[in-house]
Structure 1
Amino acid sequence: MDLIEERLAHLLKSVDDLSDVVARQEKEISVLTRRVQMLMEREAAREASAGVAEIVGDERPPHY
């Protein structure tokens, strides 16, 4: 019984650690997503001011 309780305690600790990692990664992904969006908007504004057509992220380049 002690062995089972010990293993359960280790499993619970592992689950808590993994939960912390996932939460931290979620925050980091959110920050990176915002940064990419800002860069896309900045590049679109720069190209619009230069008279170049706006690039949409999900469009294929013309050579495809």
Structure 2
Amino acid sequence: MTDFTIHVLEERLAHLAAAVEDLSDIVVRQGGEIDRLTRRVAMLMEREAERELDAGGPLPLADQTPPHW
């Protein structure tokens, strides 16, 4: 291989390594956001279930078994 070919390959490798690092950072950030949103949805479901019970309604839908069971 010529020096030029090696240089081109090294440059491509550097760009690929940077892209992998950027994507890894994005995945970590999105994982944290998914965890946060999952906690918020669970909290909202609990609040709604409590509100339904306080209103004297039937069991909250989340606590009922589906009709096909």
TM > 0.5 fold call: yes
State the TM-score bracket (shorter-chain normalisation).
Answer: 0.7 to 0.9
Q: Give unmatched runs, 5+ long, in structure 2.
A: 1-5
Matched, 1:28 2:43: no
Aligned AA for 2:39? Answer: R
TM-score, scaled relative to structure 2: 0.80
TM-score, length of structure 1 as denominator length:
0.86
- Mapping 1:13-52, distance limit 5 Å: 13-52=18-57
Cα deviation for residue 10 of structure 1 reads: 0.1
For these two proteins, the number of residue pairs brought into alignment is: 60
Structure 1's consecutive aligned runs of 4 or more residues displaced over 6 angstroms after TM superposition are none
The 1-side partners of 2:61 and 2:41 are apart by 14
Residues in 2 aligned to 1:49 and 1:33: alpha-carbon distance in whole angstroms: 24
Which consecutive residues of structure 1, in runs of 5 or more, have no partner in the other structure?
Answer: none
